[in-house]
Amino acid sequence: MEKLKKEDKMSDFKFSQDYVVYKAKKEGVYPIKETDWSRLKRLINGIIPNKNLFQILASISFGIFGSAIFSLIAFNSAENLDKWVLPTTWVIFCVSIIAGIGLLILDKQQKVIISYSTTDVLNEMTEIEKSFDKPTDEDE
């Protein structure tokens, strides 16, 4: 490999084919204070990962609810059932629908908390950006 002479510029590339070489854009850097950086890290650590646990549990509850509906339909035409079967099925029916609705509400609230946390971090980053005098494209 040939060493570059001091007169040669690094931007003068020579190719065996006709290529267009694009110059890299200048990129700004924010010298952020340690306290701001620590605050951002704390906010990011506070974001709860979205695991859909409540949604899965709600689906299971609604599955049990559907099973209880079919059981009640079948038990109404059945004869010689023990006395505890129908009341137990009604309890399962009611508890599963209430639990399913409650779990869906919890899932929705969790999504609101997660989106609020993300928005909070983005707002904090915007405030930090505003504290710097950023030149416009015309100034460069």
Mean pLDDT of 107-136: 82
Say how far apart CA 33 and CA 36 lie, in whole Å.
Answer: 5
Query: Tens of pLDDT along 69-103?
Result: 999 999 988 888 899 999 999 999 999 999 999 99
Predicted local confidence at residue 1, as pLDDT? 45
- Decide: 32 and 128 in contact? Cβ < 8 Å: yes
What's the N-to-C CA distance of the chain in angstroms?
Answer: 36
Q: Between residues 53 and 138, which one has the greater pLDDT?
A: 53
Query: Tens of pLDDT along 1-47?
Result: 455 454 455 556 677 787 777 777 777 777 888 888 888 888 888 77
Mean pLDDT of 102-128: 86
